[in-house]
Amino acid sequence: MKKAFQKSRIPEQSAFVVKELIAPTFDKNWHFHPEYQLFLVLEGKGTRFIGDDMRPFKPNDLVVTGPNLPHLWRNDQEYFEKESKLKTRGIVVYFPEDFLGPKYLGEKEEYEELHALLKRASLGLEIMGETNELIKMQLINLVHKKGLERIIGLLEILLLISRSNEVKPIVQAGYTNANKESEKDRMSRVYEFVMDQFQHDIKQEEVAAMINMTSSSFSRYFKSRMNKSFSDFLSEVRISHACKLLPTENLNISEVSYESGFNTLSNFNRQFKERMGMTPKSYKKDFQKTFE
């Protein structure tokens, strides 16, 4: 299996880190870290997990995540095929709250906007529209800046985000991160197993056994960390995959249902409508209309 890029810590002599990532896949491990993270996808697609939120990602996906907010950009399965020539590319910035120096933030009126932005980032922030386009160009330039110019460049980006009305929170307001450092590997194994096997029949008991837990213990454990049951999570993964397949012309709805891991078409239709507010047929038709 191809190795994904692994993030490194901020060097002690640096205020923050900015780098361009180029690799066969993004880091496939579910993880969290104490730094804030600004991440722009330039190339690659898949499913994005942040806290209790899950949705597809593609180029120009741009988000800020706060300290210790769990996240994962999981590429589609085609990126992991042995003969795949696909690649991913992105720009990531890691910065601590005190990257301007200790005791600055929150104590000086000049930093009020920045302080408010970082508080909002605890729920994750998605950046869209014209703000997205502006920051994309600034991030590309930031990679090549050095010294004070690099700090000024980051401040300009954060100022844009703080004043934009094209920014929305990602996770639910009531989300609480109950994850522990020692559990990273355990949850990462669950994510990887589900993303590899969701097209097949998955029993909660086998996932629980895989991480040495009883089914009931795993049920409580998973819900306390994801704000949803394991069955709901699995259904979301399958529906998300179906949303990627429905717009294609070479698959009918029954085939999409099967390819997404549903045992019956009626169950697929019911769950899709519950989560998406419309039937798979309507979703497919609406998508096709937008390109007529």
Report the CATH number that the domain containing residue 129 is assigned in CATH. 2.60.120.10
What was the pLDDT predicted at 103? Answer: 59
Phi, psi at residue 171, to the nearest 5°?
A: -90, 160
What was the pLDDT predicted at 179? Answer: 65
By CB atoms closer than 10 A (0-12, 13-18, 19+), residue 107 is: exposed
**Residue 8 located in a structural domain:** no
Whether 277 and 253 share a structural domain: yes
**Residue 175 located in a structural domain:** no
Whether 79 and 135 share a structural domain: yes
- Residue 270 belongs to domain with CATH number: 1.10.10.60
Tens-of-pLDDT digits for all 292 residues of the chain?
444 444 446 888 888 999 999 999 999 888 899 999 999 999 999 999 999 899 999 999 999 999 999 999 999 999 999 899 999 999 999 999 888 776 555 567 888 888 899 999 999 999 999 999 999 999 999 999 999 999 999 999 999 999 999 999 999 876 776 666 666 788 889 999 999 999 999 999 999 999 999 999 999 999 988 889 999 999 999 999 999 899 887 889 999 999 999 999 999 999 999 999 999 999 888 776 544 4
Where does a domain end: 136, 169, 202?
169
Whether 157 and 275 share a structural domain: no
Whether 186 and 134 share a structural domain: no
Structurally, the chain folds into a number of domains equal to: 2
Whether 31 and 124 share a structural domain: yes
Whether 231 and 127 share a structural domain: no
Whether 192 and 164 share a structural domain: no
d(CA 193, CA 184): 14
What was the pLDDT predicted at 225? Answer: 84
What was the pLDDT predicted at 13? Answer: 84
Distances (CA, A) of 237 to 67, 109, 233, 251: 25, 44, 6, 19
Cα dihedral: 54, 55, 56, 60 (round 10):
-110
d(CA 234, CA 261): 10
Q: Is the four-CA dihedral 166, 88, 243, 208 of positive or negative sign?
A: negative
What was the pLDDT predicted at 132? Answer: 97
Q: Is the four-CA dihedral 146, 149, 153, 154 of positive or negative sign?
A: positive
What was the pLDDT predicted at 3? Answer: 43
**Residue 9 located in a structural domain:** no
* Tokens 């096709």, residue located: 288
Question: 3-state DSSP call for residue 43?
Answer: strand
Kindly state the DSSP code that residue 228 receives in the 8-state scheme. Answer: S
**Residue 12 located in a structural domain:** no
Whether 163 and 186 share a structural domain: no
- Domain span at residue 285 reads 181-290
What was the pLDDT predicted at 4? Answer: 43
**Residue 7 located in a structural domain:** no
Distances (CA, A) of 163 to 33, 160, 169, 182, 186: 26, 5, 14, 37, 39
Whether 135 and 212 share a structural domain: no
What was the pLDDT predicted at 8? Answer: 44
Phi, psi at residue 29, to the nearest 5°?
A: -90, 130
**Residue 100 located in a structural domain:** yes
Whether 34 and 144 share a structural domain: yes
Torsion-angle region of 101 (φ positive above 0: left; ψ -120 to 50: alpha; else: beta): left
Whether 142 and 53 share a structural domain: yes
